[in-house]
A = this chain, B = another copy of it.
Amino acid sequence: MAITLIFLILLAGILCGETKYMVYNTSQSIVPGKLNVHLVPHTHDDVGWLKTVDQYYVGSNNTIQGACVQNVLDSLVPALLADKNRKFIYVEQAFFQRWWRDQSEAVQNTVKQLISSGQLELINGGMCMHDEAPPHYIDMIDQTTLGHRFIKEVFNVTPRIGWQIDPFGHSAVQAYLLGAEVGFDSLFFGRIDYQDRAKRKDEKSLEVVWQGSKSLGSSAQIFAGAFPENYEPPSGFYFEVNDDSPVVQDDINLFDYNVQERVNDFVAAALSQANITRTNHIMWTMGTDFKYQYAHTWFRNMDKLIHYVNQDGRVNALYSTPSIYTDAKYAANKSWPLKTDDFFPYADRVNAYWTGYFTSRPALKGYVRMMSGYYLAARQLEFFKGRSKTGPTSDSLADALAIAQHHDAVTGTEKQHVADDYAKRLSIGYKEAEELVATSLACMVESASKFGCGSSSTTFQQCPLLNISYCPPTEVDLSLGKKLVVVVYNSLGWKREDIIRIPVINENVTVQDSTGKEIESQLLPLVNGSVSTRNYYATAYVGKSPSSTPKFWLAFTVSVPPLGFSTYVVSSTKGAAATLVRQTLYKSTGSQNDTIEVGPGNLKLIYSGNGGKLSQYVNKRNMVEASIEQSHSYYSAYDGSQDLEYFQASGAYVFRPNGTFPIPSEGQTPITVLRGPLLDEVHQRINSWIYQITRVYKEKEHAEVEFTVGPIPIDDGIGKEIVTKITTSMKSNKTFYTDSNGRDFITRIRDYRADWDLVVNQPVAGNYYPINLGIYLKDDSTELSILVDRSVGGSSIVDGQLELMLHRRLLHDDSRGVAEALNETVCILDKCTGLTIQGKYYLRIDPLGEGAKWRRSFGQEIYSPFLLAFTEQDGDKGTNFQVSTFSGMDPSYSLPDNVAMITLQELEDGQVLLRLAHLYEIAEDKDLSVMASVELKKVFPTKKINKITEMSLSANQGREEMERKRLVWEVEGSQNEESKVLRGGPVDPVKLVVELAPMEIRTFLIDFSYRWSTIDRKVA
């Protein structure tokens, strides 16, 4: 017999306990005298990241990441039904709506009950958890509205809680606009700077009252809580299938019984959190990315924890939601520290500033911004034509744009195939919206009546690749007698004059307005570099080589009424043709004292003859004169190889430079100047992969810089992040200003944070901020402003200097999960080259105090460029259109200069959603930072407003109801000053005038009574 393994373990009883079915007491609610641990079961479901949104939903492509949202929601229903005390929150409506459509009526009814009972609470409630850096506030509002209105319509509920747990820093606009103004009672998030977090833990100030807007002040503040660590459970309390946290083993008949041990762990974790939290309420976020695939596993363990922890009695554990938690905090009747401004930039540890993603995937960022403006215009045209139940709508584009706001979408922090998916969705949405726009315009140009639209014979084409001079409808041979008709739509509420440009193949062309009057135009030859870019990218994106190559840009001035269009005709001429620019090549051999002056109007840019560098900015009108330089540099990307503790390369998220290197102009550096009656252009070929055109328009007082950057060379094995720097001698005293999601400007001070004593370890990356609208700095006399055409990162690293990061190409992953280097390429068949980025920024110097007007007005024009539609016609003069000029507004009216119409949309139910936004902050401009008024009767001259209801920002509840319900929080050491805040008053249903205070956005649902108005007319 063997020497046997005999364990003389005295386990009498272990194997002879009686077993019976165990019922857990989970009914505990808040207990006043105790530490209440709010267990908040949740899942965080990225609307695309490592997999596409659809792949996440159905659970495909699991080799990349095991994740299936369908499982989460499928398994949730029985788990909640099994115990009415269990609760769950769900956040991302893009997933929820996919799932909802798949369900049987029985399940749908069950879910309605679960939502109505509060067991399942839909919070945040946008289509995605949008990011807070690259998205534009209009996109944030739109995607939130899309989710909120679905929730309202289907479940008749209104989300109460902001839940931005994953985005990489938090914006002021999120807090006040997408928080307070949508009626949220609180806002929670996971990621704030590690230094900030440490101090807040010390001071128990992770939870604050956040006043995100100077202008709206206390009227738009919100209770905001940063989590102590992240949005996951305390260590050891993860209960997903196959997770390795110890399950609560309470079966005395089995080995490894661990109830007391687990209760002790629970109490210890609770007390530790209580130590850094005010009041006797703490929240545990019980879940994380794509968890609850089998919800039962979490609830089974939480049931047991609640049961045994409450039996133990040291702390009180309960199923909760952020709403319940918020109410408990509110009921504590405490005052809270005040937080202003925002939580940017975000570093999760030393040397890890998440400021690279402000620029990552600049092409996608540009595409999103272009689509955003297009979507706004398309909805207007849909409104004018009347929403069609069968025809094309803007809904696909709405969905695609909503999803693109996700914090791993427009951020550029997704895998390449996922970025492609977002672009594909945008493209599909665009194609439908393009059709909608074409049919709407066709209808509008053909129909004399504004009520109704038959089938139209006009076919409009549009050119989404116009930026690279690819526009087949304009590239037609006009010498054969065809006319090219261009309809120019202006989605702004102001009349607008601007220069548009289209590629043409003929030299002898002329432009007429809709009255047949010839207008001045200018021809600019297409340079070789841009033709090759055009042909490469058009082939890559359209799938075949362009059939023709235009020779020129034809530029001409158009003038378009507010919310309206004008028509222009381009035709061949033997008479007065467009002016061909004079072209001068300046070699770098000129003497140092030679200068080159550029600009046909007030603005003159002076370049040095030697080297052709920009040296001076002169505005002849207001006599602003400033020395100015413009240069390019790159940051070499750190590869992490020397890191001892944490590997940290520069990557999709993190910007970690390893030195700054100027990019000199190569060779003889000629600059070429093209001069014409409308505009001058300065062409600079910096090197083989940076090309720059600076435009000075006769009628504009800013310079427009179009840059073409790429493919960034990586043959040295080093990733590079390309910046342009504008340098002046202004004494800006470390201070500069960047916008919050394209809206409020926030003061930034280099190497400084208002909330804590900053330890500077990344003097560049740690001073980067997201820029959606622009960046500026000032000194005693002037302001230097730069506006951008998409979201980028930027800073002022040196006094008087602004910089923008234009493009990034990296060779290492930055260890935040995406597991790809951000090395974008564009391929034709199997041949790929590094991505080239073409974009614009705009530069202006104003006398101190005068910059805001340009930033705000022109900023709006950048967001909403003219929409161009093309068709060919025969015949001589003018067009065949019945209507060749149109304005949606009363011809005598336009919106005030400080107001923009950011939404005009006919909803599915026929109601019209209108949003008006004051564009200025308090004290931003001496004339325009005042209450503005909009006369709705003149905005909608042909329609009768039957009913108008002011709504919350996301249009899911009446504003009045929202104001009544929303919790008002006490701020530590101060009285609330709501009385001082300026806001527009109620809208008189007869006068129909909307007042807007600085930074105010007002949202209305309007019933136009078409029928009544028709009847009225008949009766009248």
Residues of A bordering B, CB below 8 Å: 1-9, 11, 14-16, 19-23, 52, 54-55, 57-63, 66-68, 71, 74-75, 78, 98, 101-105, 241-244, 246-247, 249, 251, 253-256, 293-294, 296-297, 300, 362-367, 370, 396, 399, 419-421, 423-424, 427-428, 430-431, 464-468, 533, 537, 541-543, 789-790, 835-840
Contact A6 B423, beta carbon cutoff 8 Å: yes
Smallest CB gap from A248: residue in B: B58
A58-B362 CB under 8 A given contacts A71-B241, A293-B241, A465-B6: no
B-side contacts of A241, CB under 8 Å: 59, 66, 68, 71, 241, 293-294
Contact A1 B839, beta carbon cutoff 8 Å: yes
Smallest CB gap from A790: residue in B: B2
Smallest CB gap from A243: residue in B: B62
Contact A5 B837, beta carbon cutoff 8 Å: no
Inter-chain CA distance A7–B537, complex, in Å, is 11
B-side contacts of A60, CB under 8 Å: 246-247, 249, 256
B-side contacts of A16, CB under 8 Å: 396
B-side contacts of A419, CB under 8 Å: 5
Which residue in B21, B242, B431 is a CB contact (below 8 Å) of A102? B21
Q: Given contacts A5-B363, A66-B241, A101-B253, could you give 11 more A-B pairs where the C-beta distance is less than 8 Å?
A: A1-B466, A1-B840, A2-B370, A3-B366, A59-B247, A59-B297, A62-B243, A66-B244, A68-B242, A74-B300, A98-B251
Inter-chain CA distance A9–B429, complex, in Å, is 11
A8-B542 CB under 8 A given contacts A15-B396, A243-B62: yes
B-side contacts of A9, CB under 8 Å: 424, 427-428
Inter-chain CA distance A423–B255, complex, in Å, is 13
Residue in A3, A71, A467 whose Cβ sees the most chain B Cβ within 10 Å: A3
Contact B254 A98, beta carbon cutoff 8 Å: yes
Contact B537 A3, beta carbon cutoff 8 Å: yes
Instruction: Kindly provide the distance from the CB of A230 to the nearest chain B CB, expressed in whole angstroms.
Output: 21
Contact A102 B251, beta carbon cutoff 8 Å: yes
Contact B256 A3, beta carbon cutoff 8 Å: no
B-side contacts of A8, CB under 8 Å: 427, 431, 541-543
Instruction: Kindly provide the distance from the CB of A215 to the nearest chain B CB, expressed in whole angstroms.
Output: 30
Instruction: Kindly provide the distance from the CB of A101 to the nearest chain B CB, expressed in whole angstroms.
Output: 4
A297-B71 CB under 8 A given contacts A105-B21, A427-B8: yes
Instruction: Kindly provide the distance from the CB of A518 to the nearest chain B CB, expressed in whole angstroms.
Output: 29
Instruction: Kindly provide the distance from the CB of A348 to the nearest chain B CB, expressed in whole angstroms.
Output: 26
B-side contacts of A362, CB under 8 Å: 2
B-side contacts of A246, CB under 8 Å: 60
Inter-chain CA distance A21–B100, complex, in Å, is 9
Instruction: Kindly provide the distance from the CB of A475 to the nearest chain B CB, expressed in whole angstroms.
Output: 17
Which residue in B1, B3, B78, B466 is a CB contact (below 8 Å) of A789? B1
27 residue pairs of the A-B complex, CB under 8 angstroms, read: A1-B790, A2-B365, A2-B837, A3-B537, A3-B837, A4-B363, A5-B419, A6-B367, A6-B427, A6-B464, A19-B101, A21-B103, A21-B105, A52-B255, A54-B249, A54-B254, A54-B255, A54-B256, A55-B255, A59-B242, A68-B242, A71-B297, A74-B296, A75-B294, A78-B78, A101-B253, A241-B241
Smallest CB gap from A249: residue in B: B58
Contact A71 B464, beta carbon cutoff 8 Å: no
Contact B2 A467, beta carbon cutoff 8 Å: yes
Contact A58 B247, beta carbon cutoff 8 Å: yes
Which residue in B23, B63, B71, B464 is a CB contact (below 8 Å) of A244? B63
Contact B428 A3, beta carbon cutoff 8 Å: no
Contact B297 A242, beta carbon cutoff 8 Å: no
B-side contacts of A835, CB under 8 Å: 3
A7-B427 CB under 8 A given contacts A21-B104, A102-B21, A241-B294: yes
B-side contacts of A15, CB under 8 Å: 396, 399, 428
Inter-chain CA distance A239–B595, complex, in Å, is 72
B-side contacts of A256, CB under 8 Å: 54-55, 58, 60
Inter-chain CA distance A247–B60, complex, in Å, is 6
Contact A468 B3, beta carbon cutoff 8 Å: yes
B-side contacts of A251, CB under 8 Å: 58, 98, 102
